Amino acid sequence: MCDHFSAREALLLLTPEQMGRADRAAMEAGISGSLLMENAGTAVAMRAQEICPHGGHVLVLAGPGNNGGDGLVAARLLAERGYRVRLALLGSREKLSGDAAIAASRWQGGLEKLSAGIDLSADLIVDALFGAGLGRPIEGEVAALVEAVNACQRPVLAVDLPSGIDGRTGCVRGAAFKAAKTVTFFREKPGHILLPGRLHCGEIHVADIGIPDAVLPDLSLKLWRNHPGLWHDVLPVPDVEGHKYARGHTVVVSGPAHATGAARLAARAALRAGAGLVSMAAEEDAIPALAAHLTAVMIKKVDGAQGLAGLLSDARLNAVVIGPGAGVGQATCERVAACLQSEAAVVLDADAVTSFKDQPARLFDAIEARSAPVFMTPHEGEFSRLFPDLAEHADKVEKTRKAAERAGAVVLLKGADTVVAAPDGRAAISARDAPWLATAGTGDVLAGMIAGLAAQRMPAFDAACAAVWMHADAARRFGPGLISEDLPEMLPAVWSQLAAERCAD
Ligand SMILES: NC(=O)C1=CN([C@@H]2O[C@H](COP(=O)(O)OP(=O)(O)OC[C@H]3O[C@@H](n4cnc5c(N)ncnc54)[C@H](O)[C@@H]3O)[C@@H](O)[C@H]2O)[C@@H](O)CC1
Ligand SMILES: Nc1ncnc2c1ncn2[C@@H]1O[C@H](COP(=O)(O)OP(=O)(O)O)[C@@H](O)[C@H]1O
Ligand SMILES: [K+]
């Protein structure tokens, strides 16, 4: 998907079940299933022609359902256009039904029986075995074929989803093709973006097969690909006449003297994210270390949780980060409670999450009692401490949503496919590869960025999504060799590009 802004609606993700409802709604609106399949197969053939030289040898692997039907249409069109097409079918032609049977009746070529030992010598292999209808793990002969195809080094074009990838969760069920390209229809599915599914799809193309956008409202969709199109219209833009106080004041709660670095990373990130002022709340013993390093960030001396509560009673301090370097234990719980008593937006990161391992209800009750937003930024380990019953859930979107609803907070379940979920069920999945982020301290930077955006009064869900995207964009701009300190320094370039695209939009 390209990086320019696209409409919010274009970023919606449909589960296979929702896609089935969209198909049915389109058919009720008078668009026949056969036409949808013809359009799907046409889109597949077009992509095949991009990969395979004219007249080349294409092997189509067709399954017993409509995914196979799409493959049959593509096979026919490619043969008509001069390609040498072989078609291998799983199951018998007689068992095909509905639109797939119609597609088979139009196929004039031969049919091979699909088996693990089939001849794979082709310029392109089209995977039309299973798509939305994958109902169980791929096993036996078919699994052996998938492994053989993956080992044979020929390009694979997947129809809708690489067979074996669960369209809802992105999980591999048994075995899954590794595709060079995937053509999907109408909208992307979560399984294209969540890991490991994303790694099996290759380049993703979304084809318009004639399903009208008018079917979308009835589906009550609340899941998007995380992309600027989702939040660019609520990104904070400094006023020509504005002053620093109008851009909000972020407070970062420092760890003790030996652990101040994480909070400094968050503070620097909050400044670069655009907060007008950033202060570090620190106990006396941490101040020398902080003072030796901080310039634009102010230091406010606080004494324990009570001192922190006193500082935060000033309503101008409207966003606070606690957790980076905080230490796990009761003292952190007390300080978190002080933060939650304030009217500021609160970002709970790292130790602030882990400290409530044995008393999550205490945390959730304190969140329920306030109206300002709360963000939680756990990685999988921290998530499992606070939400042990959800940790093993195979569906990353669903488990993040459940956690957000339970906690009453915007939850960011971090990783290479970070999911952001709001208590009202909205969720977004990050799809930007940024492997350089896997280095110490990048999470602290993210927490600071969220607080910097929240201080500027960006709506909570949008602020979290924007921070995740900008964080990955910063990492991609820097590339190899990135350390967490580099991330805030890349943010001016990220902002400039966002501003330029906003003008061009
Ligand atoms: N419904 C529609 O109108 C449209 C559907 N389209 C295509 O239809 C696909 C969905 O079609 P279906 O719902 O028929 O489902 P699929 O064709 O994805 O798969 C269902 C078939 O595969 C079998 N199957 C499932 N998992 C299996 C496994 N692990 N091992 C062996 N057999 C297995 C099922 O018994 C069933 O026969 C989409 O992915 C898309 O490619 C497109 O043609 C666009 C329009
Ligand atoms: N392989 C990866 N690809 C993309 N992002 C990653 C990857 N690994 C980690 N990240 C991101 O880097 C950050 C790491 O945060 P965290 O685990 O809290 O680290 P730390 O505690 O060292 O700051 C998160 O935003 C996470 O999503
Ligand atoms: K497929």
HEC string of 211-276 equals CCHHHCHHHCCCEEEECHHHHHHHCCCCCCCCCHHHHCEEEEECCCCCCCHHHHHHHHHHHHCCCC
Amino acid letter at 297? V
Return d(Cα 307, Cα 404) in angstroms, integer.
Answer: 29
pLDDT digit string, tens, across residues 448-497: 999 999 999 999 999 999 999 999 999 999 999 999 999 999 999 999 99
pLDDT > 60? residue 4: no
Banded model confidence at residue 393, pLDDT cuts 50, 70, 90 = very high
pLDDT digit string, tens, across residues 196-226: 999 999 999 999 999 999 999 999 999 999 9
305-309 mean pLDDT? 98
Banded model confidence at residue 238, pLDDT cuts 50, 70, 90 = confident
In this structure, of 179-183, 235-239, 242-246, 454-458, the range with the lowest mean pLDDT score is: 242-246
Q: Whose CA is nearest to atom 14 of ligand 2?
A: 443
Amino acid letter at 9? E
304-313 mean pLDDT? 98
Ligand 1 mean position to 443 CA, how many Å?
40
pLDDT > 70? residue 503: no
Of 30 and 3, the structure prediction assigns the larger pLDDT to 30
pLDDT > 90? residue 194: yes
Q: Is 335 helix (H, G, I), strand (E, B) or coil?
A: helix
Handedness of CA 347, 351, 352, 356 (dihedral sign): positive
37-42 mean pLDDT? 98
- Which ligand sits nearest to residue 60's alpha carbon? 3
pLDDT of residue 505: 53
Residues of the chain with CATH 3.40.1190.20: 238-504
- The CATH fold assigned to 8-221 is Rossmann fold (3.40.50)
Q: Kind and range of the H or E element at 375? A: strand 374-376
The pLDDT > 70 percentage for the chain reads 98
Peptide bond into 53 cis (omega under 30): no
CB 193 within 8 A of CB 433: no
pLDDT digit string, tens, across residues 407-423: 999 999 999 999 999 99
376-403 mean pLDDT? 97
Quickly list DSSP for 460-490. Answer: HHHHHHHHHHHHHHHHHHH-TT--TTHHHHH
127-158: burial string, b at 16+ Cβ within 10 Å, e else? bbbbbbebeeebeeebbebbeebbeeebbbbb
Name residue, tokens 């030796």: 292
Please identify every residue whose CB atom is under 5 Å from ligand 3, which is an ion: 127, 131, 158-159, 163
DSSP annotation of 199 reads H
pLDDT > 80? residue 429: yes
Any atom of ligand 2 within 6 Å of the Cβ of 430: no
Return d(Cα 348, Cα 372) in angstroms, integer.
Answer: 13
148-163 mean pLDDT? 97
pLDDT of residue 1: 39
pLDDT of residue 2: 38
- Which ligand sits nearest to residue 65's alpha carbon? 1
174-191 mean pLDDT? 98
| Count of CB atoms situated within 10 Å of the CB of 66 | 27
Reported for 46-52, long-range contacts at CB under 8 A and 24+ positions apart, including other chains, are 47/157, 47/181, 47/183, 47/205, 48/74, 48/78, 48/83, 48/124, 48/126, 48/157, 49/78, 49/81, 51/123, 51/124, 51/155, 51/157, 51/180, 51/181, 52/83, 52/123, 52/124, 52/155
pLDDT digit string, tens, across residues 47-75: 999 999 999 999 999 999 999 999 999 99
CB 433 within 8 A of CB 195: no
Q: Which pTM value belongs to this model?
A: 0.96
- Mean pLDDT across the chain: 96
468-496: burial string, b at 16+ Cβ within 10 Å, e else? bbbbbbbbbbbeeebebebbbebbeebbe
Atom of ligand 1 nearest to the CA of 27: 3
9-35 mean pLDDT? 96
Any atom of ligand 2 within 6 Å of the Cβ of 456: no
Respond yes or no on whether ipTM tops 0.90.
yes
pLDDT > 90? residue 6: no
Name every residue whose Cβ is closer than 8 Å to that of residue 442 and which is 6 or more positions away in sequence. Answer: 471, 475, 484, 487
Tell me whether strands 427-430 and 419-421 are parallel, antiparallel or unpaired: antiparallel
- Which ligand sits nearest to residue 198's alpha carbon? 2
pLDDT digit string, tens, across residues 89-140: 999 999 999 999 999 999 999 999 999 999 999 999 999 999 999 999 999 9
| Count of CB atoms situated within 10 Å of the CB of 254 | 30
Q: Is 299 helix (H, G, I), strand (E, B) or coil?
A: strand
The pLDDT > 90 percentage for the chain reads 95
Atom of ligand 1 nearest to the CA of 37: 43
Query: 238-504 belongs to which homologous superfamily?
Result: Ribokinase (3.40.1190.20)
